[in-house]
Amino acid sequence: MNPKTREGAACKTAQAHADEKPEGMRYKKDKPMNLADVFPPNGHVQHLYCNQCNDYLDLSFTDFSEDVSGICISIDGLPVLRCRKCSATFLLDDSRVAIIYLHEQATKARKSVVKVTHKNTDRDFGFTKVPFVYDSDDYKYIPGLYRPFNEGFLTPVFFNKEVLIKYDASPVYRVSFASKTYGEIRQGDAFSMPFGLNRNDKLIMWLGDIASLPETEQYYLRSENVPSDHSIGSEFYDAQIECKFTDPSPEDNLFKDRSTFLEACFGRFGEKLAQLDKEVLDLAVTVQRPLVDSARTRRDVADVLNKIYIESFNNKALGKALDVLGEDAKSLGSLKRLQKLLEKSSPMSNISEMMSPFYVLYDLRVAFSHLGSEKGSQESLQYVQKRLALGESAGLLDIYDRLIVELSAAFKKITAVVGDGTKYWTKRR
């Protein structure tokens, strides 16, 4: 069904590839493998995490060719799990069984050489008549996906991530994020479809979930459907399959807080007050603490944060929400529009104080991008430092750390003003 990534080598000498041997197949470098080493270690459960460096493993198809206890066994396209970080390779239990079986058959037939090719399971799980491209080998071999019921439901289907922009722009659907790479597409209370972004920047959703969408939506998704890259390691996988929520980074928290605020606003005003365009989507994933304090990183950080957390507010939608309340917003920029909307929603709250971090971020860009005079930039920077309760010696890293936390807190406060936008993140069992 899908083209596989072929890896491995035809080399049959143990010496040459000793370091690449799948775990559990250790042997002395100058000697053949022992069949006993192929049996799964007692109580062993293969997970999607590398037991050498703890990074995610990718499903991969390797050309296996080894002398196993006196029989030369070659399997083209043997499914294995591979770590891209430390290059360790791990044998799947199914693959171990295949090697053991081939050894047994060859022994019975008194043959010293066996050569076979792995056949893709190539199954259509039948959830939908829309011909999605997916790889049933993913379902069979990636740890944690197989279930004795609803077979194939948890088959990962891969898409261009721009799909999210379309759903965000739709009046029917909403896209919300639990972190920078894990979220849900929702349609009111009718359904919610979890999605994740993998390390290759591809969007992943489960086949069973996709099949619950109206057929026209499925055909749209099919147009953005890409072949599996067999790489499912992501926060989406952790949460949905392992029920593991890694400690979110401050940046993850901030993006989630933004999402929760926008959800609350949608519930209150019926408007999507910010848009998810390709730029925001690309930038959100890349935001991380700068490593160094330089003129370049100052400009980049201020720029990126402004784009995601200020410029993505939708002026038109803010204007419409204000219009409903009888307010004229023509002369106002987006932050002022938002402030006015919140003030109308909660006249007793000190909105301008709550929103201070957003104005700080705005000024930070003025300070770091040298948009005005040198003196003006310096004054802006001092004003930023003062409002973040930092001294004048505070550099980019201090400012960044404080600002991310303050922006998160600001989103939480204005969310409380609008109403409860809390939602529930469920795992898939």
Residue 57 engages Zn ion in binding (rule: CB under 5 A): no
Between 80 and 213, name the residue whose CB sits nearer to Zn ion.
Answer: 80
Residue 53 contacts Zn ion per CB under 5 A:
yes
User: Please, what is the minimum distance in Å from the beta carbon of residue 229 to Zn ion?
Assistant: 18
Q: Report whether 213 contacts 220 (CB < 8 A).
A: no
- C-beta closer to Zn ion: residue 89 or 253: 89
The two structure tokens encoding residue 164: 């999210």
Give the length of the chain: 429
- Which residue, among 160, 154, 149, 118, has the nearest Cα to 136 in the 3D structure? 154
Q: Which of 18, 86, 243, 292 binds Zn ion (CB under 5 A)?
A: 86
243 binds Zn ion (CB under 5 A): no
Q: Is the dihedral of CA 52, 54, 55, 61 positive or negative?
A: positive
* C-beta of residue 362 within 8 angstroms of C-beta of residue 306: yes
Query: What's the angle, vertex CA 149, arms to CA 144 and CA 153, rounded to 5?
Result: 65
Q: Is the CB of 196 or the CB of 233 nearer to Zn ion? A: 233
Give me the residue label for tokens 């199914």: 94
Q: CB nearer to Zn ion: give 88 or 280.
A: 88
DSSP state of 373: -
Binding test (CB under 5 A) with Zn ion, winner from 78, 83, 204, 338: 83
Residue in 13, 52, 117, 378 binding Zn ion, rule: CB under 5 A: 52
How many other CB atoms are there within 10 angstroms of residue 327's CB atom? 15
Which of residues 25, 50, 403, 418 is near Zn ion by CB under 5 A? 50
For Zn ion, which is the closer residue by CB, 55 or 363? 55
Give φ, ψ of 94 to 5 degrees: -60, -35
On the CB side of 15, CA atoms within 13 Å amount to 1
Nearest Cα residue to 281 out of 203, 191, 188: 203
Which one of the spans 42-50, 132-140, 358-366, 372-380 is the region binding Zn ion (CB under 5 A)? 42-50
**Using rule CB under 5 A, residue 51 touches Zn ion:** no
Per-residue interface string for the shown chain with Zn ion, residues 331-370, x marking contact by CB under 5 A: ----------------------------------------
In the complex with Zn ion, the residue whose CB is nearer, 50 or 154, is 50
| CA distance linking residue 264 with residue 334, whole number of Å | 18
Stretch binding Zn ion (CB under 5 A), from 53-61, 116-124, 199-207, 392-400: 53-61
Interaction site with Zn ion (CB under 5 A): 50, 52-53, 55, 83, 85-86, 88
